[in-house]
Amino acid sequence: MSGREEGLVIRVLGAAYDVQGPDGVVRCVLRGRLRRQAEGPQRPVIGDRVEFERVTPREGAIVAILPRRTALVRREPLDPSKAHVIAANLDQIVAVFSAIPEPDLFQIDRYLAVAEANGLSAILCINKMDLVQDPESFRSLFAEYEALGYPVLYTSAITRAGLDALRERLQGKITAFIGPSGVGKSSLLNALQPGLALRIGSINPRTGMGRHTTTRSELIPFDGGYLADTPGLRDIGVWGIRPEDLAACFPEMRPYIGRCEFSDCLHLEEPGCAIRRAVARGRISRRRYESYRRILIDQQAMRSS
């Protein structure tokens, strides 16, 4: 058999890859050059669009990876220049936090920054709203995120409030659910579709993989889109970000980037800093700026310890 076809990598199982082709799933190995580089950046990951050639109707070989639209890159917190791609072509992340106890806004800022560093749009999902006494005033806590352009969804896996809005956001998209453990990610997924959380390994803190398979990384079809599941997603909240990239991960800082006196300004103590000037003038929230500083300083402290 011959001829190249195009497909989507939906499962990575060690050396084998399941590729969703035009007529079903084809189990593939890597061919030639790709195999020799298998540990490098050219290793296919879930979400990659690839070219493959069939050997039998259901088996084949990946011969090329098509250019990636986005790449979810895990950077080592200790050395953000060290990075590896764990998923390609994701559209968005849903960052889930629990309403009670009241979420740490710094932690939210950190998750959003990692999403931005990877070029992904982020949706903030505040779950366990059934436990909130006064939802109206509670929501005002998150108004600043809406103002920054992040959609904020308020959900309850128990009363099912907000689930339709969440489902709508997932339609036709490749999405990863992230967030600290215990916030209700598995419960939300199961509320969307019974049994879904069982299939999501990254949500299962014990095994880090699907319960009944040896699957390592997977895209799970959902509502015309996919949910991305890869063990590496679990600790996204502590991924590193290159210091010089961090300001651009705060959308409200972008208009000021490049306007500082020093071109390598990290917006800490440097004179003539346009970002600190914008903070002083109330154009950037001090709280968000402090999150920026803290991410940068935490990383620096980790590296020098």
Residues that bind Zn ion (CB under 5 A): 260, 265, 267, 273, 275
Q: Which is nearer to Zn ion, 231 or 243 (CB)?
A: 243
In the complex, minimum distance from the CB of residue 153 to ligand GDP, in angstroms, rounded to a whole number: 12
Least Å from the CB of residue 200 to ligand GDP: 9
CB of 110 to Zn ion, least distance (A): 20
- What's the closest the beta carbon of residue 256 comes to Zn ion, in angstroms? 7
User: Which of the choices Zn ion, ligand GDP, none does residue 260 contact, using the CB cut-off of 5 to 8 A by kind?
Assistant: Zn ion
Task: List the single partner that 275 binds among Zn ion, ligand GDP, none, CB under 5 to 8 Å by kind.
Answer: Zn ion
Binding site for ligand GDP (CB under 6 A): 127-128, 130-131, 156-158, 181-187, 203
Interaction partner, residue 267 (Zn ion, ligand GDP, none; CB < 5-8 Å by kind):
Zn ion
Pick between residue 37 and residue 181 the one whose CB is nearest to ligand GDP. 181
Q: Which entry of ligand GDP, Zn ion, none binds 66, CB below 5 to 8 A by partner kind?
A: none
CB-closest chain residue to ligand GDP: 184
Q: Which is nearer to Zn ion, 33 or 259 (CB)?
A: 259
The DSSP code sequence of the chain is ---EEEEEEEEEETTEEEEEETTEEEEEEE-HHHHHTTTSTTS--TT-EEEEEEEETTEEEEEEEPPPS-EEEEE-SS-TT-EEEEEES--EEEEEEESSSPP-HHHHHHHHHHHHHTT-EEEEEEE-GGG-S-HHHHHGGGHHHHHTT--EEE--TTT-TTHHHHHHHHTT-EEEEE--TTSSHHHHHHHHSTTHHHH-GGG-TTTSS-TTS---EEEEEETTEEEEE-GGGGGGGG----HHHHGGGSGGGGGGTT-SSSTT--SSS-TT-HHHHHHHTTSS-HHHHHHHHHHHHHHHHHHH-
Give which of 117, 292, 107, 86 is closest to 181, Cα–Cα.
107
Minimum distance, C-beta of residue 110 to ligand GDP, in the bound complex (Å)? 17
217 φ, ψ to 5°?
-145, 140
Beta bridge partners of 54: 60
What is the rounded CA–CA span in Å between residue 60 and residue 295? Answer: 45
Is 198 or 296 the residue whose CB approaches ligand GDP more closely?
198
CB of 199 to ligand GDP, least distance (A): 13
- Closer of 42 and 98 to ligand GDP (Cβ): 98
Nearer to ligand GDP, 156 or 291 (CB): 156
Residue 156 or 217 having the CB closest to ligand GDP: 156
Shortest spacing between CB 159 and ligand GDP, in angstroms: 7
Partner whose footprint covers residue 72, from Zn ion, ligand GDP, none (CB < 5 to 8 Å by kind): none
CA distance 246 to 252: 12
Indicate which of Zn ion, ligand GDP, none lies near residue 162 (CB less than 5 to 8 Å, by partner kind): none
